[in-house]
Amino acid sequence: MAISSKAASCVIGIDPGLNITGYGIVSRSASQVKLLEAGVIRLPRSNNGNLAERLESLFTELQRVIEEFHPQAMCLEEVYSHAAYPRTAILMGHARGVICLAARLSGIPVMGFSAKRIKQSVTGNGNASKLQVQRAVQSYFSLDRMPHPPDVADALAAALCYMNAMRWDGDRHLFRR
The Cα-based distances of 114 to 67, 75, 139, 154, 162 in angstroms read 26, 11, 22, 12, 12
Contacts of 116 (CB under 8 A, 6+ apart): 126, 127
d(CA 118, CA 136): 12
> 104-119 burial by CB neighbour count: b if 16+ within 10 A, else e?
eeeebbbbbbebebbb
- Catalytically annotated residues: 15, 77, 151
Residue 45 contacts residue 106 (beta carbons within 8 Å):
no
What is the helix (H) or strand (E) element at residue 117, kind and residue range? Answer: helix 115-123
Count other C-beta atoms under 10 Å from residue 31's C-beta.
6
